[in-house]
Amino acid sequence: MAKDTIRVGFIGAGGNTRSRHIPGLKAQAGVELAAVANRSVASGRKIAREFGIEKVCADWQEILDDDSIDAICIGTWPYMHEILTVASLEAGKHVMCEARMAMNSAEGHRMLAASRRHPRLTAQIVPSPMTLPFDQTIIAMISGGFIGELIALDARIAAGSDFPNPNAPFHWRHDRTLSGNNIMSMGIWYEGMMRWVGPMKTVNAVGQSVVNHRRDESGRRQASTIPDHVDITGELELGGQMRLNVTTVAGLAAYPIDIHIFGSEGTLRLYQAPGGQTTLAAGKRGDKRLKDVKIPKSKQGVWRVEEEFINAIRGKEEITHTDFATAVKYMEWTDAVTMSLRHREVVKLPLMGN
């Protein structure tokens, strides 16, 4: 794209959009914040005043109808992602869509197909951020033979977890009509793990809703049909196997994040003690214990989603975090987890041809 100025419209402006995307895009040279359409005009006006956005729209169609707008940042809940992404691409707009990609993989495939119909338009899904500082090092160590042949990835994610609280509020993430098949933070972590060891080829899952109902904003009890504790096992395409436990109802977990990558010659561990920093440790055959790995700043990935998006529009780089094809892979895996939970069976991946 040859234009010096890129005008961006925002559809949905939740917490991540306000804390990251709007400031991140505003910081890019030659970017103008053109318009916002939020859940209400009043909330849109508040956001516009806070960040200096030019125009407040009553609905998202106004933004797509504005020929002066070049790109759309979609910050809604997943139930609107496919509708808005496809409509934006058909309107000739570049798209950065908040994660998770969609409600399910069928929607994700339609989003991918729309992006392929418009190859000159940039299409990006906001990536999983938690492993960014470690990805380069973990990938290099595995690719360089540090662990030998991969045996297993074993992960326990209890970040933010506590003993079950039946009085906790009903969040949109507990509502399948808004979040689809996405369960807690499992897709975010799986996306990061795919960068290290590739995707799974089989999925076998068990899970439960320990807190099986919550009260919504009106005080009415709502069923919590999305699990709050899951165990997922299966085989990896690259060989070896994987086990992932994600929970929000385990109290006093010793390590909120504890991920081991076991190989025939070495082991990697990404872990976080309560209140501590996430750390990478490593050890080889013959070592008595794992030792923390010091990663130089130059090798630590950082959040640069908005910069990557604008640079891709300008033809300066390609989207790596995260392109639609990668996002469809984690959406197929997400669907496979739900299918396995429902039918108590092993599900093979991929579900559809990409």
For 199-254, write each residue's pLDDT tens digit.
999 999 999 999 999 988 888 998 888 999 999 999 999 999 999 999 999 999 99
What is the rounded average pLDDT of the residues 103-114?
98
Q: Which residues contact 91 (CB under 8 A, 6 or more apart)?
A: 64, 65
Tens digits of residue pLDDT in 337-353: 999 999 999 999 999 75
pLDDT of residue 29: 97
Which tokens go with 111? 């989003």
Is the backbone of residue 252 left (phi > 0), alpha (psi -120 to 50) or beta?
A: left
Chain region(s) in the chain for CATH 3.30.360.10: 132-302
Tens digits of residue pLDDT in 244-290: 999 999 999 999 999 999 999 999 999 999 999 999 999 999 999 99
pLDDT surpassing 80 at residue 336: yes
What is the rounded average pLDDT of the residues 49-65?
97
pLDDT of residue 217: 85
pLDDT of residue 352: 79
pLDDT surpassing 60 at residue 302: yes
Query: Between β-strands 6-11 and 31-37, what pairing exists: parallel, antiparallel or unpaired?
Result: parallel
What is the rounded average pLDDT of the residues 34-42?
96
Q: Which CATH superfamily is domain 6-128+304-320 in?
A: NAD(P)-binding Rossmann-like Domain (3.40.50.720)
Q: How many CA atoms lie within 13 A of 300 on its CB side?
A: 12
Mean pLDDT lowest among 32-41, 170-179, 229-238, 295-304: 170-179
The per-residue pLDDT of the chain, averaged, comes to: 96
Closest to 305 in 3D by CA, of 3, 11, 27, 5: 27
11 or 222: which leads in pLDDT = 11
Report how far residue 331's alpha carbon sits from residue 306's, in angstroms, rounded to the nearest whole number.
22
Query: Residue type at 327?
Result: A
Q: Work out the burial of residue 89: count CB atoms within 10 Å of its CB; fewer than 13 is exposed, 13-18 middle, 19 or more buried.
A: buried
Chain region(s) in the chain for CATH 3.40.50.720: 6-128+304-320
pTM over 0.85: yes
C-alpha distance across the termini of the chain, in Å: 27
pLDDT surpassing 70 at residue 87: yes
CATH architecture of 132-302: 2-Layer Sandwich (3.30)
pLDDT of residue 150: 98
